[in-house]
Amino acid sequence: MQKPLRDMAGFLQRMLPPQIPEAFEIDGKFRTIATEESIRKGVPAFKDFMYQLYSRLIAEGSAFDKPKKEAHEFSDSANITTSYPFISNIAVLLSNMGVHGTLSDNRDALLLDGIEILTAENIVSNAKISETGKIDCLRFLTDCGIRFEGLDISGKKAAALAPLTVTYPENPEMLTGLKVMATVQRDVSSKYVNDILLRCDYRVLANRKTEILPLLKDLTAPLPTDVQAFMLKLHTDYMGLGYKCDTYISSSTRFEYFCRSKELWRFNLSLNNGHNITIKANNTGKYPEIIQKLPAWLQAKIEKGYGCGKKMGVTDSCDGGCRGYRIPLNDSFMDISETVKAWLEKEVSCIQNK
């Protein structure tokens, strides 16, 4: 069964940047929204707001949860729009407030022309939000501290009494951060970087390719210190050899590492499988001395072979074999870390000698 909404909320909360530097880079196209000083105050304020929003969802999310009975246990992704529509609807409303709202002169309010703007189609999701869904989200955002002047949400339908004014009395600078991050989500989202608003990914404001190592450091921050250090060094050593790394950053994240044109291994971070490293090795029969040092459960997977278990006739249903050999990055990983490193080195050698 699909994991409950509170788990996704907790996962997204952990995806928020641990720290936002005081002087992060801002591309000129986004400096038209507000001054650099206002943006650099507003974005951390928005991150703090999202942290509190996720905390409330963790505590109260069961009221909005509609888990799927059948969920793919091997998947490294969980589509927020289809699997967690309440979170998706919240993101749509926040995005539309930011994109379509006009900051007041003293930046303590967002001004919107009408209620229909809140659920307008946008890049976050094109799924239609029901009237009940809209009311639930607006009430939840009110519980999170956002105020909607000119909007009545006491009944079964939201009714606009006047042009809308959105405020956040706890910290008005959050509204600048919301507008900036919603605009970045609209202008920069791609298959390589997404869910920008939900993750408050301030790096995207630079509007250029993100430096991988600092990002990897943030994403591995929850791991044990020695595991994080291992992953950072593995990345640095591998990139130092001139190999390629493709990154896909969203609510499910992966770094794909290539040797020549072949994907060799991945760093994955997802709700379903947490932090893990996945190795896509085809030459394990050429270095049995290394494989024999791995745990029995991993040796059993390797013996079965890399690839779709159903197609190979070793399972009746999908076993996730096409994704490679997944190794959790947990407290016990360091017990096999050097063997994993040697495994990768052997596989690289086999690929280069072909």
The predicted pLDDT at position 312 comes to 43
Q: Hey, where are the domains in the chain?
A: 5-206, 212-352
What lies within 8 Å, CB to CB, of 28 at 6+ separation is none
The predicted pLDDT at position 314 comes to 45
Q: What phi, psi does 285 have (nearest 5°)?
A: -70, -10
The predicted pLDDT at position 75 comes to 55
The predicted pLDDT at position 308 comes to 46
Cβ–Cβ < 8 Å for 245, 258: yes
Q: What phi, psi does 72 have (nearest 5°)?
A: -75, 110
Cα-atom radius of gyration of the chain, to the nearest Å?
23
* 3-class secondary structure per residue, the chain: CCCCHHHHHHHHHHHCCCCCCCCCCCCHHHCCCCCHHHHHHHHHHHHHHHHHHHHHHHHHHHHHCCCCCCCCCCCCCCCHHHHCHHHHHHHHHHHHHHHHCEECCCCCCEEECCHHHHHCCCCCCCCCCCHHHHHHHHHHHHHCCCEEEEEECCCCCCEEEEEEEEECCCCCHHHHHHHHHHHHHHHHCCCCECCHHHHCCHHHHHCCCCCHHHHHHHHCCCCCHHHHHHHHHHHHHHHHCCCEEEEEECCCEEEEEEECCEEEEEEEEECCCEEEEEECCCCHHHCHHHHCCCCHHHHHHHHHCCCCHHHHCCCCCCCCHHHCEEEECCCCHHHCHHHHHHHHHHHHHHHHCC
Q: What phi, psi does 29 have (nearest 5°)?
A: -65, -25
The most distant pair of C-alpha atoms in the chain lies apart, rounded to whole Å, by 74
End-to-end CA distance of the chain: 43
The predicted pLDDT at position 70 comes to 57
Q: Give the number of other CB atoms < 10 A from CB of residue 93.
A: 23
The predicted pLDDT at position 306 comes to 66
Helix 173-188 crosses helix 85-100 at what angle (to 10 degrees)?
100
* Residue carrying the six token digits 């791991």: 223
Helix 337-352 crosses helix 225-240 at what angle (to 10 degrees)?
20
Nearest residue to 247 via CA among 288, 193, 296:
193
Q: List, edge to edge, every strand of the sheet that includes 262-270.
A: 244-248, 253-259, 262-270, 274-279, 325-328
The predicted pLDDT at position 354 comes to 73
Tokens coding 179: 């507008």
Q: How far apart are CA 138 and CA 112, in angstroms?
A: 15
Spell out the per-residue pLDDT of the chain, length 354, in tens.
Answer: 789 999 999 999 999 999 999 999 999 999 999 999 999 999 999 999 999 999 999 999 889 887 766 555 555 666 788 889 999 999 999 999 999 999 999 999 999 988 888 888 777 877 788 899 999 999 999 999 999 999 988 888 888 877 899 999 999 999 999 999 999 999 998 889 999 999 999 999 998 888 899 999 999 999 999 999 999 999 999 999 888 999 999 988 999 999 988 999 999 999 999 999 999 999 999 999 999 999 999 999 998 876 544 444 445 444 454 568 999 999 999 999 999 999 999 999 999 887
Handedness of CA 137, 140, 146, 152 (dihedral sign): positive
